[in-house]
Amino acid sequence: MEQYELEHIELLRKLAPECMVLLKSDGSFPMEAPGKIALYGSGARRTIKGGAGSGDVNVRAFVTVEQGLENAGFAITTKEWLDAYDAEWQKARKVFTSEIRDRIAREGMSAIMLGIGAVMPEPEYEIPMEGEGETAVYVLSRVSGEGSDRRVLPGDFELTQTEIRDILHLQKHYAKFLLVLNVGGVVDLTPVAEQVGNILLLSQTGMTIGDSFADVLLGRSYPSGKLASTWAVWNDYNHVGDFGEPDDTYYKEGIYVGYRYFDSADKKPVFPFGHGMSYTDFQWNTGNAEANGTEISVTAEVKNTGKLPGKEVLQLYVSVPAGKLDQPYQVLAAFGKTEELQPGESEKLTLSFDIRSIASFDTETACTILEQGDYILRLGSSSRNTEAIGIVRLDGNAVVQKLSNSGGNPGFVDWKPEAPRIPAAANLPVLTVHAAEIPQIQQVQPSIASEATELAKSLTDEELAYLCVGGFKDEGSNSFIGNAGMQVAGAAGETTSILLNRGVPNLIMADGPAGLRLAREYGVDENGIYTLDSGSLDAIAELLPAPMLAALGLANKPERHGEVFFQHCSAIPIGTALAQSWNTALCEECGDLVGREMERFRVHLWLAPALNIHRFPLCGRNFEYYSEDPLISGKMAAAITRGVQKHPGRGTTIKHYCCNNQETNRMYSNSHVSQRALREIYLKGFEIAIRESDPATVMSSYNLLNGEHTSQREDLMETILRQEWGYDGVVMSDWVTPGFGNATRKYAYACAHGSIRAGNDIMMPGGKLDHTNILSAMAAEGNPYPITRQRLEKSAARIIELAWKLGGTQDG
């Protein structure tokens, strides 16, 4: 291993426990020393380090739970059980793979995604559980990935009969029992949650997962994460809106997503948003609130009152007064995490927010507003464990920002609770904020450097069109998703290189978000690079029939020849796990690590972070995303972006803008969303990330929003992003390969001319058809999406500016 790999492993091993959440604890853990241990469950040996799809990172190796325990000196007494489970899994996998292969052969290209993200439900089996030792650990795993949503079935969202039986057996028969959840999202734990005394959400914390787990088990480290999304039973989520419909999905629940719903409707989740225990105990005082202009801050002293070291997270929620607009019971306004506190030690935490950040969107006036009334501040350690500590009294109505009616019309009025839970607040200290003194947020106009504009103006139409399409080889325009890179093996794509002689470098893009996704091994010969080991992509290739493999250029694996190189990247915790740390500094460190690897492997743009909202727990890509809460999503995305962009020549791509909250029919699915929910839930994280970290690029999403593809909506691309938020970076499409077109669906796929016309600057991964489409939209009358030369020049200028900024610093 090289030095950088060792350093990254050391760093990740230390960070991972912060992302783990102790859901239940009866004090039996941590253990004092390694000894005999009975290890069971699907994730014990087949540990999942991260999810599947373009978010999967191809590492040299990673440490499973079984290996981690052995590395730490445990004697695993259940090797036979683990072998027998393996055999059961292989058997089930064979059946599952052949089903998928048949379906792909039957349905063609559009079914390829099945191979990436389809979840094989856990099989049922009977294997005797006779491991020695007084301690048992059961590791339950689940995986999901892009292209498919999870299902409410045993072995996926629900537990199988086998899992329930085995977990309850262990709880009864071992003196100490820990249920470990090696999952990327919610699992319905109700059949066991009451009985089991110790539950650790290990999550999917990257390449050191097994060693980090052993550290936590032995108290050499400790879990200090909190849930960033509510864990509940499927039927208890707000089902007034639907999920997973292939063509039209109605977000009728409006702003009542996640804890905003559970708290307002007073519904008890299994584990609430923000929940997480510790090996030790903490207490904090009620906190001292202050208002300074629009800035509200609460300072509280947190003390470790237990016997072991730990870190605590304090969460500040606000109950916004309902008036013209209905309001959820509370919204998260700020959070903070202590440093490590030794027993008896304390730390002062100050949580601050600008009152304008909790303004609501009033569709009638197209403004964000703060209504007159009492804003109750609640401080606590989960959404269900808060105490009202003060009131901010706003003495009048205030307009925070004049915006626009953008995003279209969903065709319904948002749901709101009939009898909402009323926030109570008596005898609390009051801070007064004068509405008349609240400054309105003004729009900032983005600018493009004049040299870039001049160069764009000097280019031919043909050249401009090349710039607005990802670099492609003329033959074979069906670049495969996640694998269209030509200069860096396993990169997802790149910008054109046809202007190299005019001083415009081309930019290389590689996926994330759980690290940098590249091929593991490649060779170089007289024709350029060829891939030898593309990692997880090879596994997908096994599912494809021969003609499809050929069409995608994956047919014949080359023999090793020429010079051979390796690209060993590190897998960091998945997005959801990072959010569970509630630690923006930790996210920034992970971004810094990714930035270093981007420099090493000459990647300019990281196609991450991904910050779509956990609208429902079944979205197949939730593990890549952070949270059901836009503040957490935005703060984490901003922090990881700062980490990456510390490195000159490296940028992030925040994705998928926007309302890409399901995978079912993801390229043609129409999200119907009200303007208020759009602004307050689905766009807010993007806005925070842009304002706080200025990411180099934004990726539009596959789906439609209120009847039009997001990349084809000028109001999303220009009005909101550029005019309202002042964003001056580049917007790229998601990997829209017309080869995946599915004529049988209600909506067509997004097209290059429609997207460029709306202000989506570049079509990725790019192909001949995109180039042709753009040129013909400039030329032909009657084209549905006519494009002017000025429009193309503007996008080209943005791309040139970015290429100069990032591409000027080639290294590695």
Positions in the binding site for ligand BGC (CB under 6 A): 54, 146, 481-482, 492, 511, 607, 655, 734-735
Spatial separation of the C-alpha atoms in residues 716 and 706, rounded to whole Å: 12
Which CB atom, from 407 or from 609, has the smaller least distance to ligand BGC?
Answer: 609
Instruction: Provide, rounded to whole angstroms, the least separation between the CB of residue 509 and ligand BGC.
Output: 8
Contact 400, 440 (CB under 8 A): yes
Instruction: Give the integer Cα–Cα distance in Å for 299 and 303.
Output: 13
- In the complex, least distance from residue 764 CB atom to ligand BGC, rounded to whole angstroms: 7
Exposure string of 464-482, with b = 16+ CB inside 10 Å and e = fewer, is bbbbbbbbbeeeebbbbbb
Residue nearest to ligand BGC (CB): 482
The residue (of 446 and 738) whose beta carbon lies closer to ligand BGC is: 738
Whole-angstrom distance, CA of residue 648 vs CA of residue 639: 16
Q: How far is the CB of 279 from ligand BGC (least distance, A)?
A: 37
In the complex, the smallest distance separating the C-beta of residue 483 from ligand BGC, rounded to whole angstroms, is: 7
Q: How far is the CB of 246 from ligand BGC (least distance, A)?
A: 17
Q: Which two tokens stand for residue 92?
A: 């089930």
Compare residues 370 and 607 and give the one whose CB is closer to ligand BGC: 607
Q: How far is the CB of 558 from ligand BGC (least distance, A)?
A: 22
Cβ atoms of residues 531 and 519 within 8 Å: yes
Is 662 within 8 Å of 669 (Cβ atoms)?
A: yes
Among residues 606, 710, 695, which one has the least CA distance to residue 661? 710
Q: How far is the CB of 737 from ligand BGC (least distance, A)?
A: 9
Encode burial over 723-732: b for 16+ CB neighbours within 10 A, e otherwise.
bbbbbbbbbb
Task: Report how many helices (DSSP H) and strands (DSSP E) the chain contains, helices first.
Answer: 22, 31
- Name every residue whose Cβ is closer than 8 Å to that of residue 667 and which is 6 or more positions away in sequence: 702, 703, 736, 740, 742, 749, 750
54 versus 534: smaller Cβ distance to ligand BGC: 54
Q: How far is the CB of 740 from ligand BGC (least distance, A)?
A: 9
Closest distance to ligand BGC from the beta carbon of 116 (Å): 9
Q: 735 and 481 in contact (C-beta within 8 Å)? A: yes
Q: Residue 646 has what DSSP assignment?
A: T
Question: Toward ligand BGC, which CB reaches closer, 137 or 763?
Answer: 763
Nearer to ligand BGC, 373 or 729 (CB): 729
Question: Which residue intervals of 486-574 are DSSP H helices?
Answer: 536-541, 546-551
SS3 412: coil
Nearest distance from C-beta of residue 118 to ligand BGC, angstroms: 15
SS3 759: coil
Residue corresponding to tokens 């999920």: 243
Rank residues 406 and 703 by Cβ distance to ligand BGC and give the closer one. 703
Q: Shortest approach of ligand BGC to residue 659 CB, angstroms?
A: 14
Instruction: Please state, in angstroms and rounded to a whole number, the distance separating the CA atoms of residues 705 and 526.
Output: 46
CA distance 486 to 560: 18
Residue with smaller CB distance to ligand BGC, 226 or 666: 666
User: Is 754 or 765 the residue whose CB approaches ligand BGC more closely?
Assistant: 765
Q: In the complex with ligand BGC, which residue's Cβ is closer, 238 or 665?
A: 665
Which of 540, 702, 596 has its CA nearest to residue 11?
Answer: 596
Cβ-based nearer residue to ligand BGC, 51 or 206: 51
Give whichever of 570 and 701 is closer to ligand BGC, judged by the CB atom: 701
CB of 182 vs ligand BGC, minimal distance in Å: 23
The C-alpha atoms of residue 466 and residue 775 are separated, in whole angstroms, by 10
Provide the 10 A C-beta neighbour count for residue 176: 16
